[in-house]
Structure 1
Amino acid sequence: MRISAVVRCLNEIEHIERLVFGLRAQSLPIDELIFVDSGSTDGTLELIEDLGDIVVHIDRSEFSFGRSLNRGISQASGDLVLICSAHVYPSHDDWVEQMARMFDNGRIAYVYGRQIGDHRTKFSELRVMKSWFPPVSTAAQSHPFANNANAMLRRSVWCERGFDEYLTGLEDIEWARYVQGIGFELAYCATAPVFHVHEENWSTIRNRYRREAMAYKKMFPGAEMAAVQAMRLACSSVILDLLASLKSRTAVSPLEVVQFRMNQFYGTWKGYASGMPDAELISRLYYPRRTGVEADSMNGRALSYDGFSASEEALG
């Protein structure tokens, strides 16, 4: 099957070449690379015109995550479409192959892969990723949790109905609900991990969780979160993070942990009014502690980014 890749970007000059380097090292190569740019001003635009096959432009006034994906996928010719953020990069050379293989099951319409942090990732964010993206795959997931920072979809299903262009976030979960509702299946691929680089300030973190809560509220009108519930979740998360750091003997800044969790749940509270449906889905969104599980074994070759010079190697 032919595979297209769609990458959303905005001012990603520091990250995008690393992603392209990782894409070009894959055991199963992609057939075309499509960038969707929403108004970059840092040199990203000039770079992707050299790196990509197609560049789609979307005005900032029109931007939504769903709309940018729809614009990019509409230009794709592949049977499968790999979707990823510009600030991710694969850990292994069989990233694309592992996700594509899951579509051998004709009922699979949507697959999302594992996300892990690198040396720049805040400790609490690492804990979030470990909770959302466990080390064991799920061939047919019962709930609609998904994340399109690292995902692949069957384009023929997308052609029937694309991503919601009016949500402020969680367009990936909304489309997963749609896919499951029309009789297709959603899968999670733990053996297709990417490093996801989040270098956000506190305001950006707060706003990210706020817009996701707003989207969740739109999808589930009865969803609520009281201020006391948000504070309780923030405090318990801080305690669990600090205990986890002691157990793992990881040096962390207690102040950073408090700031991350307080901004996370303050933003979430702002996005809600106040109770939450779908306990299984919420368990993924609000990061419970997970017991130890045996991880799926990795088959591909680990990619090395040591001494990576993007301007030389990604273009080579």
Structure 2
Amino acid sequence: MRTSLIIPTRNASSHLDRLLPALRMQTLQPDEMLVVDSASSDDTVARFREFGARVEVIDAKDFNHGGTRRWASEQVGGEALIVMTQDAIPANAQTFANLITELQLDPLNGVAYGRQLPHPGAGVLGAQSRHFNYPAQSRSKSLADAPELGIKTCFSSDSFSVYRRSALEAVGGFPADVIGSEDAYVAARMLLDGYTVRYAATAEVYHSHDYGLMDEFHRYFDIGVFYGREPWIRQAFGDAGGEGKRYVLAELQALREAGALHRTPEVMVRSAFKLLGYRLGHLERYLPKSLKQRLGMFSTYWT
């Protein structure tokens, strides 16, 4: 299966000392590598070109989570499209090979997304987020799982995933214009079209964030905007059910195990900020553009 690797970048230099050696050590080397760089001001472009990648530079204002990946997918010829972010670091030499193997387990697998481990030195809450969303056991998800999983059925992550080109094209490709969550959009389209989504726990990358309170607010504002503009996803799969409660309980357990229960109020405030951001995102059509630019994480989307 011919494989193409796509990485959107912007000022990625701080990650490249880990990322480039991890890419070089992969036992499965992509047939081509396309980096789409949003006008970096550091040495990102030069280092990727020296590494051997094809690098296309776009204006930062032209970047779109869906549209840029859509364009990139049209510039490469692979039957399997590995999509990852600049801060996702393959954890071992078999990461790419295992991702492709899990995609190929079933011809109905339209996309497979890998397991994300916390970066070394990640904070307790940042690490818990990875453990909660990316367990040790692989799983395939179909539309039949919606009564059990709700909207988590179409959970996927373009921080590290691989798309079967034929399935991606069958559902219309990446959306041309979304504020984010293009991975959930495509996964939902695939599930409704009869494909399955594979969680590939054997394909591991290091990828985590230690978000502050306002980071969480901005991120969930963007998520709220996305789901507010794509109501068909909730109509097809339902909502998150008790996922929020389970997540908070898992955070509290992680604090307990780390001897940090004094941070319990932080968890509660963090959850409130997420909910507030999400609700405001749903109401974004009533907000002026100038305010939305300040509320969201992807501020350039509104320009």
Quick check: TM above 0.5?
yes
Q: Which runs of 5+ in 1 are unaligned?
A: 224-232, 275-316
- Compared CA separation, residues 11 and 201, structure 1 to 2 (3 A): farther
d(CA) in 1 for partners of 2:253, 2:138: 27
Matches within 5 A, 1:161-172: 161-172=172-183
Q: Which residue of 2 aligns with 1:41?
A: 41
Tell me whether 1:249 sits opposite 2:258 in the alignment: yes
Greater share of helix residues, 1 or 2?
A: 2
Of 9-18 and 201-210, deviating more is: 201-210
Matches within 5 A, 1:217-256: 217-220=228-231, 241-246=251-256, 248-251=257-260, 254=263
Q: Which residue of 1 aligns with 2:300?
A: none
Judge conservation of contact 1:35–1:52 (CA < 8 Å) in 2: no
Judge conservation of contact 2:126–2:210 (CA < 8 Å) in 1: no
Tell me whether 1:214 sits opposite 2:225 in the alignment: yes
d(CA) in 1 for partners of 2:209, 2:116: 11
Judge conservation of contact 1:69–1:163 (CA < 8 Å) in 2: yes
- Select which of 143, 156, 161 maps to 2:166: 156
Query: Post-superposition shift, 1:211?
Result: 0.5
Judge conservation of contact 2:116–2:206 (CA < 8 Å) in 1: yes
Residue identity opposite 1:249 in structure 2: A
Query: Post-superposition shift, 1:237?
Result: 6.0
Query: Post-superposition shift, 1:81?
Result: 0.9
Q: Deviations over 1:280-312 (max 9, x none)?
A: xxxxxxxxxxxxxxxxxxxxxxxxxxxxxxxxx
Matches within 5 A, 1:1-316: 1-104=1-104, 105-141=106-142, 142=145, 143-160=153-170, 161-198=172-209, 200-220=211-231, 241-246=251-256, 248-251=257-260, 254=263, 257=267, 260-273=270-283
Residue identity opposite 1:126 in structure 2: A
- Compared CA separation, residues 203 and 219, structure 1 to 2 (3 A): same
Query: Post-superposition shift, 1:262?
Result: 4.3
d(CA) in 2 for partners of 1:130, 1:50: 35
d(CA) in 2 for partners of 1:138, 1:237: 20
d(CA) in 1 for partners of 2:134, 2:48: 29
Query: Post-superposition shift, 1:190?
Result: 0.7
Residue identity opposite 1:135 in structure 2: A
- Compared CA separation, residues 79 and 236, structure 1 to 2 (3 A): closer
- Compared CA separation, residues 176 and 259, structure 1 to 2 (3 A): same
RMSD, aligned CA: 2.8
The DSSP-based 3-state class of the residue aligned with 2:13 is coil
> Identity, % of aligned pairs?
24
Residue identity opposite 2:116 in structure 1: Q
Judge conservation of contact 1:113–1:190 (CA < 8 Å) in 2: yes
d(CA) in 2 for partners of 1:62, 1:267: 25
Q: Deviations over 1:33-58 (max 9, x none)?
A: 21111121122222222224211223
Judge conservation of contact 1:237–1:261 (CA < 8 Å) in 2: no
Judge conservation of contact 1:163–1:175 (CA < 8 Å) in 2: yes
Residue identity opposite 1:214 in structure 2: V
Query: Post-superposition shift, 1:261?
Result: 3.7
Q: When the two structures are superposed, what TM-score results if normalisation uses the length of structure 2?
A: 0.77
Query: Post-superposition shift, 1:242?
Result: 3.5
Q: When the two structures are superposed, what TM-score results if normalisation uses the length of structure 1?
A: 0.74
d(CA) in 1 for partners of 2:30, 2:194: 28
d(CA) in 1 for partners of 2:13, 2:78: 26
Residue identity opposite 2:118 in structure 1: G
Q: Which runs of 5+ in 2 are unaligned?
A: 146-152, 235-242, 285-303
